[in-house]
Amino acid sequence: VPITPARKIWMDGDLVPWDEAKIHVLSHVVQYGTGVFEGIRCYQTPRGPAVFRLTDHLRRLFRSAVIYRTTIPYSLDELHTAIKDTIRANGLSECYIRPLAYQGYGEMGVNLFPTPAKVTIAAWPWGSYLGKDSVENGVRVKVSSWRRHDPNIVPPAAKATGQYINSALAKAEALEAGYEEAVMLSPLGHIADGSGENLFVIRDGELLTPPESAGILLGITRDTLIRIARDHGYKVQQRNLVRSDLYTADEAFLCGTAAEVVPVRDVDGRVLGTNGRGPITKELQEAFFAAVRGESEQYAAWNELVG
Ligand code: PPE
């Protein structure tokens, strides 16, 4: 997906012109993938642009930093302000936001060195991650031959730049085989994540989603949908799932900040019960979009106004 440039990128306290936001090719993050990051969305709401669950995303960024022994030289509150400043400086209302704390230029070798990370924040308009029609029509999914990395190899609970070469392999395989997205199994063979999404299965009116121990990223969108589904009276279980649970689902959907909520139309050529978007998926999608767009009083605390 080509990037739509915006005007300014926040780099260690300065808002620099988009085309000048550069780092050295020998930076540690370029050579070894040593950066922790977030993907966040801002939506237009009746009270103005609001970043969805910004504080929760920043909490996860700091948890990723703990895992990777990364010192972020700013507080959560400072980054909260910097993100809002970046959105305002770019004149954006609806956008995707990408904060990154990375190991910069200075040392070579695979150590996670103790010098403070460099921090950058970009924001730009980004449409549907899985294609324009994916939210309505759903996507075709392939169970990948690439396993998701194990918690004792590369911890999936952290969101680090280098980890995504695993997702990239799975995504490429799925696209080459004519599918739109990959679902990866854990090393033990349980369903884990899509290349950039969490997954839910719906069977007999109940929602099932893999637990943290299956090696998923603990998605903010996943958490949002668990809450919304329970508020709508559905039972939600976090438990291990195998690929046949996916093949025999009544409905399934992928969810993530970039993808939002996308129905799964078929898995490995097996068309799911509803051939497109199922009724429960649609109900939860509508509640999700109402929440992110600030149309639900009940979830208003999740809309963090840019101001
Ligand atoms: N699993 C993975 C592997 C993942 O990358 C994401 C987000 C999720 C689950 C959902 O997490 P959350 O966004 O908190 O609900 N993927 C991000 C990056 C995608 C990209 O290609 O870049 C995202 O959606 O922003």
Q: In this predicted model, what pLDDT tens digit does every residue of 178-215 receive, in sequence order? A: 999 999 999 999 999 999 999 999 999 999 999 999 99
Flag whether pLDDT at 132 surpasses 90. Answer: no
Q: Which residue's alpha carbon is nearest to atom 3 within ligand 1?
A: 196
- Whether the pTM exceeds 0.95: the reply is yes
The pLDDT of residue 274 is 82
Four-point Cα dihedral 109, 110, 116, 122, nearest 10: 110
258 alpha carbon – ligand 1 mean position (Å): 7
**φ, ψ of residue 235 in degrees (nearest 5):** -85, 135
- 8 A C-beta contact, residue 184 and residue 193: yes
Q: How far apart are CA 132 and CA 283, in angstroms?
A: 20
Instruction: Report the pLDDT value the prediction gives residue 280, as an integer from 0 to 100.
Output: 98
pLDDT of residue 40: 98
pLDDT score, position 39 = 98
Amino acid residing at 170: A
DSSP structural state of residue 52: E
Q: Is the dihedral of CA 164, 170, 175, 180 positive or negative?
A: negative
**CB distance 240 to 214 below 8 Å:** yes
Tell me the average pLDDT across 68-88. 97
- For the cut 80, the answer to whether the pLDDT of residue 226 exceeds it is yes
Report the separation in Å between the CA atom of 120 and the middle of ligand 1, taken as the mean of its atom positions. 18
Q: Are 242 and 189 in contact (CB under 8 A)?
A: yes
pLDDT at 38: 98
Query: Of all protein residues, whose CA lies closest to atom 16 belonging to ligand 1?
Result: 196
Task: With a cut of 80, say whether residue 143 has pLDDT above it.
Answer: yes
Mean pLDDT to the nearest integer, 129-155:
95
pLDDT at 114 over 80: no
Q: What is the residue-averaged pLDDT of the chain?
A: 97
Q: Is the CB of 217 under 6 A from ligand 1?
A: yes
The per-residue pLDDT for 130 is 93
Min mean pLDDT across 18-27, 103-112, 162-171, 238-247 is at 103-112
**How much is the average pLDDT of 57-65?**
98
Residue 20, C-beta contacts closer than 8 angstroms, at least 6 positions apart: none
Angstrom distance (rounded) from CA 281 to CA 249: 12
Contact of 192 with 214, CB cutoff 8 Å: yes
Contact in structure between 198 and 221 (CB atoms under 8 Å): yes
Distance 143 CA to ligand 1 centre (A): 18
pLDDT of 113 over the 80 cut: no
